[in-house]
A = this chain, B = another copy of it.
Amino acid sequence: MSSASDINMNSVARTILVDVSLARSDAQSVADTLRVIDEQVAPLGLQRKFEVLQLTDSQLYIYVSKSYASGTLRIYPSKKLATLTIEESSEDQAMTNEDIESLRKQLMRELEVRVVRVPHLKRGPPVANYYTSANERLFEYDFEEILFEKKSDFQEVKILKSPTMGAVLFLDDLQNLGECDLPYTHGIMNFGDYSYTDKEILILGGGDGGLLHELLKEKPKFVTMIDIDDVVMKSCRKFLRGACGDALDSYEGDNYQVIVGDCLKYMDKYANEGRKFDAIFGDLTDVPIVTGENGNEQQHEQWQFLSKVVNDSLKLLKVGGVFQNHATGKGCGNALETYENFLKTLKDTHFTKRSRFVPSFLEDWVFYSVYLDK
């Protein structure tokens, strides 16, 4: 049972979306829909203000109230859909999700069609809380406090805090790691199925320090971590201690070293020196999120970067060693398939996969182990 005080109405305005199917695509159905919507939004104070504005695929209508509400209605006859978007800003008379549900049910009853709604969206809240899954589904978080916010030379670094997730690091508005996210770190480690005791380990990225912290508990021989962004490490050291503990308090210890730098350059250096590792982690903050149809320039760059990281890592592995990598959300089936097809082209290797539900990602995340066989 939730109460008013559990529901954050702490925003300047709320936007409400209601999608109304049309019974048919003819003019009569459009007219009926318009008439019923006019009637049903009237109790909210909304009156249609302008006559039809013709767009290529739709008609646009504007609603305004005398006080705090406005709305737009677009009717797409050929798609048999009307989209109603209401904006309201009164705190005293805020529409609740129950009010919107009543509107939805009333429209369904009057028009005898399918009506769906998006619960209210908060405009101008003090902390931005809308982020997406890897496949761009929308999630609203419950962050209440901005612990840290700075544009570094490489990215926008942000640490937010919520009562249910603790502190969570965001890089360029992508969820990166939260204090609640041990499943991520255990996922990339393949925890329980691989022993790091007495191993020589290289972490590429991992600036949040969570992986370093967990690895050091496993009594490794030596861990080298290379992350390019010191702003990330310094802020996590201060605000993400639930994940990194004291691992970043010093950049050098008995059995570890943290290097601020470009991991690709260090990998070249290590290759020239003939240095080898038992385990290498690809824990780079630059998770490639690809959205275009057939690949744009950014995607090609991301693929090139990713495949270079994997290939260079394999050159630095001892025989029998492992490259541990995180990929993307379980819902990104095509991306995972593409990545696996790439892994299959690598010589003298085999790979295994697993997934863990990562709390701050709000989704199952997929991890791969690539073993160098000979």
Residues in A lying within 8 Å of B, measured CB to CB: 1-8, 12-13, 15, 17, 19, 21, 49-50, 53, 55-58, 60, 62, 64-70, 72, 74, 76, 79, 81, 83, 85, 87, 89, 96-98, 101, 116-121, 123-124, 128-142, 163-164, 173, 287-294, 302-303, 306, 327-335, 338-339, 357, 359, 362-364
Contact = CB atoms under 8 A, between A and B. Distances in A.
B124 A292 contact: no
A17 B19 contact: no
Contacts of A333: 6, 163
A276 to B, nearest CB: 28
A302 B339 CA distance: 50
A135 B142 contact: yes
B6 A332 contact: yes
A163 B163 CA distance: 30
B306 A1 contact: yes
Nearest to A138: B140
A83 B124 contact: yes
Nearest to A134: B2
Nearest to A56: B67
For the complex of A and B, 7 pairs with smallest distance between CB atoms: A2-B332, A116-B128, A137-B140, A81-B124, A6-B332, A138-B140, A1-B288
A118 B74 CA distance: 20
9 contacts: A1-B332, A2-B332, A70-B74, A72-B72, A76-B89, A81-B123, A117-B130, A138-B138, A362-B362
B123 A19 contact: yes
A262 B347 CA distance: 65
Contacts of A328: 1-2
B79 A338 contact: no
